[in-house]
Chains A and B, each alone.
Chain A
């Protein structure tokens, strides 16, 4: 196992390099432009635009720019944003707490809720609980997040006036009232996101447990006199977790680049929102930096998932 992990880590490096190259190529080919914000404005004539392009280093062909980017990465420099001329790392550091506070928390809540819900749905298949949970799950992923978001805003922020719907990232949490304020301003986006996360993971958990419940070893365990709870929790759940582990592991990187619509609707200044705004603005340094971090996370968490399989299922051997 140790050798396997080492091998995977070594392969990760060229993998990430290849990924970064493909991503950079795609971004270079995509017809977005940092100057598009000027629109058709005649007050910014072609000479000025050419100057700006030159300043941003866009005169070089993209393979040259790629090499320059990689060499500055090697020195730990993630580049300067075209839009704000500030360090990309600073921007990401500013946004990370907001993403974790909303998208991260939603994900954790989603996983924590989903597994018991999926489990109970499977054990009591087609009961009232199962039907209600199924319906909620399907509302969760057949309705787009922009819809649930706006619905929640209209009901809770505008009609009931319980929660603010503009996220204040300058809020400093140092006492109970400010903590409560943070809860109030993040509860709606967290609900929107957790609904989707819970729905997907719960469905997979339920399906997998349904596969395992009729199996022989369960019958054996029951006939040994073990309590139902023990059977389900210690035996069935552990074996059903493999696809769930896949999903949860694959989902962690998306915390750092997903939730774009929700972040936009609630004005949560997170990394997803930074990514999509930067793509629209043609702000390549920001986009490439975020995508690189994303790629590293994807590779890392896939490795973690693979290791977890082996831990959960001793029969899995990696050659």
Chain B
């Protein structure tokens, strides 16, 4: 398998090189260019429209094609075939210029000012929208302003906070941050920042944004145009005749279908070859492995990013009476009591992450044992948690508790001072998660905890209005997955005191644990201002260690960001764990 992907990587490198060489020299015409003028530069591997139809299958169907109104990955991925940002996040968590920008601005090349306050983006020359009109800096400025305008209720708004934009000339924009921003790619790179055509959306600026027909049939710069869109069902695309590279894309049409479940998507790509790309195969390893091993049609893409399946521990009391339930004014009876750290450590010691990773996630196929909450970027990977993480010993955990005075009762549950170690453990309805719960329960009960399992449908788990939800956290521990951008500042912010979710803010903020530690808050404050990369890395690792060694969260499995099946015949795909899976679809060919 590995040599195939190496081959794929080298092929795509050749293509990328070829594309970069050609983009400045070809002329595009309005007529459909199925066979365009011969490229000057290295010979292309293929020409536009050489291929037939590409079939993509997602088990959630796209419902809107405007990435700024997207409600999930399905929407941002489906729109990425048409709407592109200035640049994308590559597999190494660094930006790559396969979008509208000619090069990636850095401090070294002068694109980023020394005080980290201004970033200058220059567009590639000769860029056209799919309707033939030229792309200008006005389109970029317009897009930014719409996203930043609260009246449009854009879901990508957060990346515009603290930033402003201005057009320097027809093909250059300058993004200015209010204060020095070490995360200077905050706006412009990735799914947050697809550029819309001003002409198409101008009449729908502000509050009318959601009514724009461009939401369902956008005009973009990407390799494909939308021929037909049935929201919640299927999108049909055709190759964009005005795409900047005349030899791309390879496929004449694309069909992007949604619906069903992950297991049958896996069957479609591995067992029948009915589709070329099957997204997010969150399937138990013992179903996936035999399918992959015996498949003649498909192979598995397992690429790691920052996704971690983790268990959160509650620092507030989920059983407090009345309005105080789960409020930060209360303290959890045993996780936040006088020997709270001991109890939390015991729970972590009795957590068998390697069995979960091996049996359920295929020992690397879809996940590997996770020790850190910040992971995926080598510079930020802490090593201080390794030994803590590799200790799995429920008996020693029991002893730790015993020594602290938590004695086993007649019901085999440890208790001290009338408080029993009874845990309610909630997560979403999902076969792999339920199996994980079963494994955790067996081991935790060996250490003397008593565990009650609860599973909640995803739609009522991830909402701040539901008492069964992750935000309310009216249980003792809960489990789910989350991931972060290459720069983890806003992610880590989610554990600061200011972000504690409680009744007064309608449980909308991100600190579900109700964790409050001045040391941690201090680290994050520093992180927001620190511009030296080495010092930043150090702060990030310290923040990670604080959360892990204080057992605020117990990471179980680092999951693959890209867990998709792809046809063995497709080349040119170099998946990234930091951006959309469709980020380089213009390079795919057979």
Contacts of B490 in A (CB 8 A): 42-43
B233 touches A169 (CB 8 A): yes
Question: Is B231 a contact partner of A170 (Cβ separation < 8 A)?
Answer: no
Does A215 interact with chain B (Cβ within 8 Å)? no
Task: Annotate B50-80 by CB proximity to A: 1 below 8 A, 0 otherwise.
Answer: 0000000100010110000101100000000
- Is B155 interfacial (CB-CB < 8 Å)? yes
* Most B Cβ at <10 Å: residue of A33, A85, A157, A168: A85
Q: Does residue A225 face the partner (Cβ distance < 8 Å to B)?
A: no
Q: Judging by beta carbons under 8 Å apart, are A55 and B157 in contact? A: no
A127 part of interface (Cβ distance < 8 Å): no
Return B332 CB to nearest CB of chain A, in Å: 20
In the complex, which range does the number of interface residues on chain A fall in? Answer: 35 or more
8 Å CB contact of B64 from A32, A36, A83: A83
- The answer on a CB contact under 8 Å between A52 and B155 is yes
Asked if A161 CB lies within 8 Å of chain B CBs, one says yes
Q: A33-B466, A85-B211 are in contact. Are A51 and B157 (CB under 8 A)?
A: yes
Question: Given A55-B153, A158-B271, does the pair A43, B158 have CB atoms closer than 8 Å?
Answer: yes
Mask: chain A, 16-42; 1 = CB below 8 Å from B; 0 = not: 000000000000000111111111111
Knowing A38-B71, A45-B158, A166-B257, the reply to whether A269 touches B466 (Cβ < 8 A) is: no
- In angstroms, Cα B257 to Cα A165, docked, is 13
A158 touches B267 (CB 8 A): yes
Contacts of B463 in A (CB 8 A): 31-33, 35-36, 282
How many Å lie between the Cα of A36 and that of B457 in the bound state?
A: 11
Distance of A157 Cα from B260 Cα, bound (Å): 16
Q: Mark A167-205, 1 if CB is under 8 A from B, else 0.
A: 011100000000000000000000000000000000000
A223 part of interface (Cβ distance < 8 Å): no
Whether B457 lies near A280 (C-beta < 8 A) is yes
Select one of A46, A83, A153, A273 contacting B505, CB under 8 A. Answer: A46
Q: Is the CB of B215 within 8 A of A85?
A: yes
The contact of A166 among B69, B275, B484, by CB within 8 Å, is B275
- The 0/1 profile, CB within 8 Å of A marked 1, for residues 214-233 of chain B is 01100000000000101111
Contacts A40-B470, A281-B71; A83 near B460 (Cβ below 8 A): no
Cα distance A269–B260 in the bound complex, in angstroms: 10
Contacts of A49 in B (CB 8 A): 464, 508
Q: Does A91 contact B (CB under 8 A)?
A: yes
Which single member of A40, A264, A274 contacts B512 (CB below 8 Å)? A40
Residue of B nearest to A269 (CB): B233
Docked-complex contact B259 and A33, CB < 8 angstroms: no
Q: In the complex, which residues of chain B have a beta carbon less than 8 angstroms from the beta carbon of A54?
A: 153
| A-B pairs with beta carbons under 8 Å apart, 25 shown | A35-B71, A35-B463, A37-B462, A38-B462, A40-B510, A42-B484, A42-B490, A46-B505, A48-B155, A52-B153, A54-B153, A84-B64, A84-B232, A85-B210, A86-B231, A91-B232, A94-B230, A158-B267, A158-B271, A166-B275, A265-B264, A267-B264, A277-B232, A279-B459, A282-B463
List B residues at the A interface (Cβ < 8 Å).
57, 61, 63-64, 69, 71-72, 150, 153-155, 157-159, 192, 207, 210-211, 215-216, 228, 230-234, 236, 255, 257, 259-261, 264, 267-268, 271-272, 274-275, 457-471, 480, 482, 484-485, 490-491, 493-494, 505-506, 508-510, 512
Not counting A39-B480, A41-B482, a sample of 10 additional A-B residue pairs whose C-beta atoms are within 8 angstroms of each other reads A48-B155, A55-B153, A83-B64, A94-B230, A164-B272, A164-B274, A166-B274, A168-B257, A265-B260, A280-B458
